[in-house]
Amino acid sequence: MIVKIFEISRFVAVGIGFFLAYYYGGSGEHIIHLLLPWLVVPIMGFSAVEGLFFGKDSAKAKGYGANSAYQIQTALFFLSISLMSVWLYIVDWGVWADVTLLFTFLLSMTLSAANHTYQAVAHHNLTWNNLIRPFGVLALIASVYYPLSLIFT
C-alpha cells in the first residue's frame, strides 16, 4: 500500500512541478530552474525513501529481491541527486549547473528504463514499473525539450 501511495504522490508532485514551472517560469532557464527539484525529488527522492525505509515492500512491487546492499546503495545515490537538486535551487548557481544535473538525472533514468525493459523482456518480469518506465522516461525527455530548446538556441 505504501508503495502505491509513493507512486501516486510521484505523479501528482511532478504534475504540480510542471504547472508551477510553466506558469511562473517564462524563460527556458527559469523553467528548468523551477522544474528541476520538482522532477528529481519526487522521482528519485521518493524512490530513495522507498528503498531505505520500505525496501521490502518496494522490491516486492518491482519484482526484485529486498534489502540488498545494491538496493541501499541505489537509494543513497537517488537521495544524493535529490539533495543536490534542492541545493541548486536554493543557491541558484545558474543554468549550466541546473542543466548538468538535469542531464545526469535524465541519463540515469534512461539507463534505468533500459534495465527495466531488459528485465521485462529477458526475465519476463512484467511488473508495472518495468512496463511503464521506458514510456515515462520518453515523456520526461519530451517534456523538457521545450525549455532546453530555448536555452540552447
Query: Structural domain boundaries of the chain?
Result: 2-151
Q: What confidence score (pLDDT) does residue 133 get?
A: 92
Q: What confidence score (pLDDT) does residue 123 get?
A: 92
Tell which wins on pLDDT, 51 or 42.
42
pLDDT digits (tens, 9 = 90+) for 46-75: 999 998 998 888 777 766 777 688 889 999
Q: What confidence score (pLDDT) does residue 69 get?
A: 85
pTM, 2 dp: 0.91
pLDDT digits (tens, 9 = 90+) for 128-149: 888 999 999 999 999 999 999 9
Q: What confidence score (pLDDT) does residue 92 get?
A: 97
pLDDT-derived band at 105 (thresholds 50, 70, 90) equals very high
Q: Distance between CA 65 and CA 118 in Å, rounded?
A: 17
Q: State the residue for C-alpha cell 511503464.
A: 132
Average pLDDT, integer, range 115-123:
93
